[in-house]
Amino acid sequence: MSFVTIEGLSFAYGGSRNRVLDGFSLSLEQGEVAAVLGPSGQGKSTLLRLIAGLEVPAEGSIAVGGVTLVDERTFLPPEKRGVGMVFQDYSLFPHLTAARNITFGLHRMSPKERAVRLGEMLELVRLTGCEARYPHELSGGQQQRVALARALAPGPRLLLLDEPFSSLDAELRASIRSELKAILAQAGMTCLVVTHDRADAEAICSRVVTVG
Ligand SMILES: Nc1ncnc2c1ncn2[C@@H]1O[C@H](COP(=O)(O)OP(=O)(O)OP(=O)(O)O)[C@@H](O)[C@H]1O
């Protein structure tokens, strides 16, 4: 069995008869980084929201690492899924420093464990020394890496990235693609990356799947 198994996933928004996803299936091996490619409005973000537990599918199932997240009998809430997500706009807390943003979800750790984890994450995303800065004091690429560190800090089993380059200018994109690829490989993360840009998909992912 694959590490991530999505089978027959269907979904329509609030009472609409038009299905955004209709019988979508996908398998991922552990450590695999795959892109979900497709034009605007085809349901890429919706797929991530279903995996994260922010929407409930009409049909189908999702399992990660042998644990069923959702099927006809089960619905694990988002915080119990072990799924990290980085949104298009990064959704950093503007009033918190980089360090506080990164450690935000680590309330179950002791202060000492939290400090160790923060150090590891800063090193992984190469932001050591920037921990006291607020989001507006960081470049777009640095903000993205803070968002990545925040999603990775609790040790998710699966990471979801929604349009990771949409807020970056073209020049930054090229260097950040390879940086992101290296960070994901170093963390050994299984990752699903939503994008509408085939070049982005091919630069960081070993596999491309399409929706729609
Ligand atoms: N909260 C919502 N309520 C109703 N319809 C929605 C909602 N969110 C998205 N949709 C619709 O569902 C469809 C799929 O949207 P989704 O955001 O998943 O597409 P996408 O492929 O990620 O698009 P994009 O590349 O533009 O982000 C679209 O037709 C969209 O208008």
Fold of the domain spanning 1-82+157-212: Rossmann fold (3.40.50)
Domain map (residue ranges) of the chain: 1-82+157-212, 92-155
Q: How confident is the model at residue 212 (pLDDT cuts 50, 70, 90)?
A: low
Q: Taking all residues of the chain, what is their mean pLDDT, rounded to a whole number?
A: 92
Which residues surround ligand 1 with Cβ inside 6 Å? Answer: 13, 20, 38, 40-46, 196
Q: 209 CA to middle of ligand 1, Å?
A: 18
Q: Please give the radius of gyration of the chain, using alpha carbons only, rounded to the nearest integer.
A: 17
Q: How much is the pLDDT for 42? A: 87
Partners of 83 in beta bridges: 158
**Burial class (CB within 10 angstroms; exposed 0-12, middle 13-18, buried 19+) of 170:** exposed
Tokens of 91: 């959704």
Q: CA 143, CA 146: separation in Å to the nearest integer?
A: 5
Q: Is the ipTM of this complex over 0.90?
A: yes
Contact between 48 and 69 under an 8 Å Cβ cutoff? The reply is no
Task: Tell me the β-bridge partners of 82.
Answer: none
Which one of 40, 46, 47, 87 would you pick to mutate in the ligand 1 pocket, going by the greatest count of ligand atoms within 8 A of its CB? 46
How confident is the model over 54-75, as pLDDT tens digits?
999 999 999 999 999 999 999 9
Could you tell me how many helices (H) and strands (E) the chain has, helices first? 6, 9
Q: What is the pTM (predicted TM-score) of this model?
A: 0.91
